[in-house]
Amino acid sequence: MSFAAAQAWLAERGFQGRIHRFSGSSATVELAAHEIGVEPARIAKTMAVTGPEGPILIVAAGDVRLDGGKFKRTFHVKPHFIAPADVEAAVGHAPGGVCPFGVKAGVPVYLDLSLKAYPTVWPACGDESSGVELTLDELEHAVVSAGWVDLTRPPKTEL
């Protein structure tokens, strides 16, 4: 899978004209925020984690961190990020382009409540130089979501 898979997925849902291609890399939250010109929190990062029955994707605001305790209370297993070398085989997109669109069949996608702080967010689109701006309603329409979850904690702040 790849940009083409994400693009086809979004086109089927009426978002084909909304994808942005960037001249620079958007492979990390910081790079994407710089490329787009938004605060890092508005980048909807997609984390590939091993859940109780295999890989799952969690889409969250770009500035938050996965909270292991919340994850364990929700899924009854400790969270383990999928190794970068195994991400593409597990979910259908390579690191730097992991997104909730056009993923492998059977991989559930959860939307984290941290996204609700923003009117629009920017998930990737299957490769390291793309993204799409969506409202939360549009994101819900564009993703086959397994539901909203509370799995993150705020970023560490310097004292």
First to last CA, the chain: 43
pLDDT in tens, 97-152: 999 999 999 999 999 999 999 999 999 999 999 999 999 999 999 998 889 999 99
d(CA 63, CA 153): 9
Domain positions in the chain: 3-153
Find, among 112, 1, 124, 7, the residue nearest to 56 by Cα. 112
d(CA 70, CA 79): 10
Mean pLDDT value across the chain? 94
The domain defined by 3-153 folds into YbaK protein (3.90.960)
